[in-house]
Structure formats: structure tokens, C-alpha cells
Amino acid sequence: MDLFDLDRTLARPLFHRAAFPWEVLASLGAFILDLGPRLGADYEQIVPGVWVGMGTTVDTLAALRGPAIVGRDCDLRPGAYLRAGVLAGDGCVLGNSSEFKNAILFDGCQAPHFNYVGDSVLGWKVHLGAGAICSNFKAGGGPISVEWDAARIPTGLTKLGVLAGDGADVGSQSVLNPGTILGRGSVVYPLVSVRGTVPAQTIAKAADSGTWVPRRS
């Protein structure tokens, strides 16, 4: 399954070492701490374990806890909370009252309003509408499986959010259940609860229907 343009993230080496994309999350924090001191002069370490790129605006009400890397020309708005293990690319919006934990955001991602992104990978130019949630823990706990190339694969993880392919667009107040995969260019309508896999270039209109409508260009 082709989800990501790996030229759009500093985490590219992690993906090359992994058989499946969710495997990168286990070593993300250590990767950030190793990469941070080797970043170029267009990055600054603003507090221990947190590096921010040139042109990025960090609101005084944002909270950043390392390890974390935020790319260049990003916008961290009031109430944005980075909680250990976040790698955001260039041109990202980490917005008002949004929380990020153990997550990779490729270049151009937008999570601008009241979002939760935990144990997730958001590809290039993924957009989350206001209040969209990447749920990373099953009700009652237990291991999480994913639908991958028509097979059900156990991840061995009890915390895993969403793998959102490049250009996926998620409507306001939607919930992406643990282990959800969004194909490239897919769309989730507002107020929809999604689990499983939404194929590339399709629209999810109803909760857990398993029936996806082709996206019109």
C-alpha cells in the first residue's frame, strides 16, 4: 500500500528500516534525539530536546515537551501541546488547543483546531477539520490490528492512531478509530466515525459502512 512521499519528511530513514509504517513510532523519540543535534543552521534548539526551524512561529501559549522537531515556516498556535515524540515537517499548522503525541506530520500538514493526534502518521498535506480526533486506544484496551493490502495484520501495539496518506482530508468532528488507514487523497465527511481502511481517492460518508464513494476531481 502506497501512502507516503518519503521525500516530504525528515523521518525517511525510519521508514526505510521498517516493514510496516506503524513500526516507525516505537523508535521515533530516540530518532529525534539523534537527529536534532545534527540539523543545519536553519534549526534552533529552543529548550532541551526541542528543535524548531527557521520561520516558524511559536505562540507564547503553546507548550513543547521534547523530544520534538518542528520544521521551517510552521505555525504553532495558542494551546498547541507537543507531548514527547513529535516530528513535524515544513509548513505545518499545529493549532489551537490541539495535542500531539508520538506522531509524525509530513510537510504541509494542518491540524488547526481542537485536534488530537496520538501515535499517528499524517502524510504530506493531510488536513484535519476542527475537532477531528485520531483515537489511539481501544475502548477496554487490547491489541490493535490494521487492514493492510486486503489482510488483517496484528500490530502488537495497544496504542496506534491513524496512518493518513498524502492529501487525505478529514472533516470536522470526525473520529478515526485506532488502526485506521486513509489512502492518498481520501476524504472523510464531517461527523463520521471511521475504522478499517478508506481506499485512495474515495469518500467515507457513513460510519463504518465499508462502502466508499469515488472522489470526483
**DSSP characters for 121-182?**
EE-TT-EE-TT-EE--S-TT---EEEEETTEEEEEEES---EEE-TT-EE-TT-EE-TTEEE
Q: How far apart are CA 95 and CA 137, in angstroms?
A: 22
pLDDT (average), residues 206-214: 61
Element (H, E) at 46: strand 43-47
Residue 117 has pLDDT above 80, yes or no: yes
Class of domain 6-214: mainly beta
Q: Output the pLDDT for position 140.
A: 84
CA torsion sign for 101, 21, 162, 55 is: positive
Percent of the chain surpassing pLDDT 90 = 89
pLDDT (average), residues 172-185: 97
For 172, other C-beta atoms within 10 Å of its C-beta total 16
Nearest residue to 213 via CA among 189, 195, 179, 190: 189
**Residue 69 · residue 51 · CB < 8 Å:** yes
Q: Output the pLDDT for position 146.
A: 96
φ, ψ (nearest 5 deg) of residue 152: -95, 115
